[in-house]
Structure 1
Protein backbone atom coordinates (compact mmCIF):
# COMPACT_ATOMS: atom_id res chain seq x y z
CA UNK A 1 0.00 0.00 0.00
CA UNK A 2 1.34 3.42 -0.91
CA UNK A 3 1.60 6.03 1.82
CA UNK A 4 -0.67 8.38 -0.16
CA UNK A 5 -3.36 5.68 -0.28
CA UNK A 6 -2.89 5.04 3.43
CA UNK A 7 -3.26 8.76 4.26
CA UNK A 8 -6.43 8.95 2.14
CA UNK A 9 -7.91 5.93 3.89
CA UNK A 10 -7.14 7.50 7.26
CA UNK A 11 -8.81 10.76 6.22
CA UNK A 12 -11.82 8.95 4.78
CA UNK A 13 -12.29 6.90 7.94
CA UNK A 14 -11.57 9.49 10.63
CA UNK A 15 -11.78 12.87 8.93
CA UNK A 16 -8.75 14.81 7.75
CA UNK A 17 -8.06 16.74 10.96
CA UNK A 18 -8.53 13.78 13.31
CA UNK A 19 -6.48 11.51 11.03
CA UNK A 20 -3.58 13.98 11.03
CA UNK A 21 -3.78 14.40 14.79
CA UNK A 22 -3.99 10.65 15.36
CA UNK A 23 -1.01 9.96 13.09
CA UNK A 24 1.06 12.50 14.96
CA UNK A 25 -0.06 11.93 18.58
CA UNK A 26 -1.63 8.51 19.20
CA UNK A 27 0.84 5.84 20.32
CA UNK A 28 0.01 2.29 19.24
CA UNK A 29 1.47 -0.54 21.31
CA UNK A 30 1.10 -2.86 18.30
CA UNK A 31 3.48 -0.59 16.37
CA UNK A 32 6.20 -0.87 18.99
CA UNK A 33 4.88 2.04 21.07
CA UNK A 34 5.13 4.38 18.09
CA UNK A 35 2.80 6.82 16.44
CA UNK A 36 1.72 6.27 12.83
CA UNK A 37 4.20 8.92 11.69
CA UNK A 38 7.05 7.35 13.68
CA UNK A 39 6.21 3.89 12.33
CA UNK A 40 6.21 5.18 8.75
CA UNK A 41 9.57 6.87 9.34
CA UNK A 42 10.92 3.61 10.79
CA UNK A 43 9.94 1.78 7.61
CA UNK A 44 6.94 -0.16 8.87
CA UNK A 45 4.77 -0.99 5.84
CA UNK A 46 1.69 1.22 5.52
CA UNK A 47 -0.55 -1.85 5.21
CA UNK A 48 0.67 -3.14 8.59
CA UNK A 49 0.07 0.28 10.14
CA UNK A 50 -3.44 0.43 8.65
CA UNK A 51 -4.22 -2.97 10.22
CA UNK A 52 -3.01 -1.71 13.60
CA UNK A 53 -5.16 1.42 13.33
CA UNK A 54 -8.20 -0.61 12.28
CA UNK A 55 -7.73 -3.04 15.17
CA UNK A 56 -7.26 -0.26 17.73
CA UNK A 57 -10.32 1.68 16.59
CA UNK A 58 -12.48 -1.32 15.67
CA UNK A 59 -12.92 -0.32 12.02
CA UNK A 60 -15.46 -2.74 10.48
CA UNK A 61 -14.00 -5.35 8.13
CA UNK A 62 -15.76 -3.93 5.07
CA UNK A 63 -13.83 -0.65 5.48
CA UNK A 64 -10.40 -2.17 6.10
Structure 2
Protein backbone atom coordinates (compact mmCIF):
# COMPACT_ATOMS: atom_id res chain seq x y z
CA UNK A 1 0.00 0.00 0.00
CA UNK A 2 1.27 3.46 -0.91
CA UNK A 3 0.65 6.73 0.91
CA UNK A 4 -1.87 7.79 -1.75
CA UNK A 5 -3.71 4.46 -1.41
CA UNK A 6 -3.88 4.88 2.36
CA UNK A 7 -5.33 8.36 2.08
CA UNK A 8 -7.83 7.20 -0.56
CA UNK A 9 -8.86 4.25 1.62
CA UNK A 10 -9.37 6.50 4.66
CA UNK A 11 -11.43 8.93 2.60
CA UNK A 12 -13.54 6.12 1.11
CA UNK A 13 -14.15 4.47 4.48
CA UNK A 14 -14.69 7.52 6.68
CA UNK A 15 -15.84 10.27 4.30
CA UNK A 16 -16.13 13.62 6.08
CA UNK A 17 -14.44 12.25 9.21
CA UNK A 18 -11.26 11.23 7.34
CA UNK A 19 -9.31 14.43 7.98
CA UNK A 20 -10.14 14.51 11.68
CA UNK A 21 -9.23 10.85 12.12
CA UNK A 22 -5.86 11.14 10.41
CA UNK A 23 -4.97 14.37 12.21
CA UNK A 24 -6.40 13.84 15.69
CA UNK A 25 -6.93 10.16 16.53
CA UNK A 26 -3.92 8.67 18.30
CA UNK A 27 -3.67 5.04 17.21
CA UNK A 28 -2.98 2.89 20.26
CA UNK A 29 -0.90 0.37 18.35
CA UNK A 30 1.38 3.11 16.98
CA UNK A 31 1.29 5.69 19.77
CA UNK A 32 0.72 8.52 17.30
CA UNK A 33 -1.75 9.79 14.72
CA UNK A 34 -1.89 8.37 11.20
CA UNK A 35 -0.18 11.45 9.73
CA UNK A 36 2.54 11.44 12.39
CA UNK A 37 3.13 7.77 11.66
CA UNK A 38 3.40 8.46 7.92
CA UNK A 39 5.91 11.24 8.57
CA UNK A 40 7.89 8.87 10.83
CA UNK A 41 8.16 6.30 8.04
CA UNK A 42 5.67 3.72 9.32
CA UNK A 43 4.43 1.65 6.35
CA UNK A 44 1.00 2.83 5.13
CA UNK A 45 -0.47 -0.72 5.35
CA UNK A 46 0.47 -0.88 9.04
CA UNK A 47 -1.18 2.51 9.63
CA UNK A 48 -4.32 1.45 7.76
CA UNK A 49 -4.67 -1.73 9.81
CA UNK A 50 -4.08 0.16 13.08
CA UNK A 51 -6.73 2.71 12.08
CA UNK A 52 -9.14 -0.11 11.18
CA UNK A 53 -8.54 -1.79 14.54
CA UNK A 54 -9.01 1.47 16.45
CA UNK A 55 -12.27 2.32 14.66
CA UNK A 56 -13.58 -1.25 14.42
CA UNK A 57 -13.76 -1.42 10.61
CA UNK A 58 -15.02 -4.91 9.69
CA UNK A 59 -12.41 -7.29 8.26
CA UNK A 60 -14.17 -7.53 4.89
CA UNK A 61 -13.57 -3.79 4.31
CA UNK A 62 -9.87 -3.75 5.26
CA UNK A 63 -8.09 -5.43 2.35
CA UNK A 64 -7.61 -4.17 -1.18
CA UNK A 65 -9.05 -0.73 -0.47
CA UNK A 66 -7.48 2.44 -1.77
CA UNK A 67 -6.42 0.93 -5.06
CA UNK A 68 -7.61 2.45 -8.29
CA UNK A 69 -9.56 0.39 -10.77
CA UNK A 70 -7.30 -0.93 -13.55
CA UNK A 71 -7.34 1.11 -16.75
CA UNK A 72 -9.28 -0.37 -19.61
CA UNK A 73 -7.49 -0.63 -22.92
TM-score scaled by structure 1? 0.91
Runs (5+) with no aligned partner, structure 1: none
- Structure with larger RCO (C-alpha < 8 A, sep 6+): 2
How far did residue 29 of structure 1 move? 1.7
Considering fraction of residues, name the structure with more helix.
Answer: 1
Aligned to 1:26: 25
How far did residue 61 of structure 1 move? 1.0
Q: What is the total number of aligned residue pairs between the two structures?
A: 62
**Runs (4+) off by over 6 Å:** none
Larger radius of gyration: 2
Aligned to 1:41: 39
The question of 1:59 aligning with 2:61 is answered: no
* Inter-partner Cα distance in structure 1 for 2:28 and 2:53: 11
* Inter-partner Cα distance in structure 2 for 1:29 and 1:56: 7
* Inter-partner Cα distance in structure 2 for 1:25 and 1:58: 17
Runs (5+) with no aligned partner, structure 2: 63-73
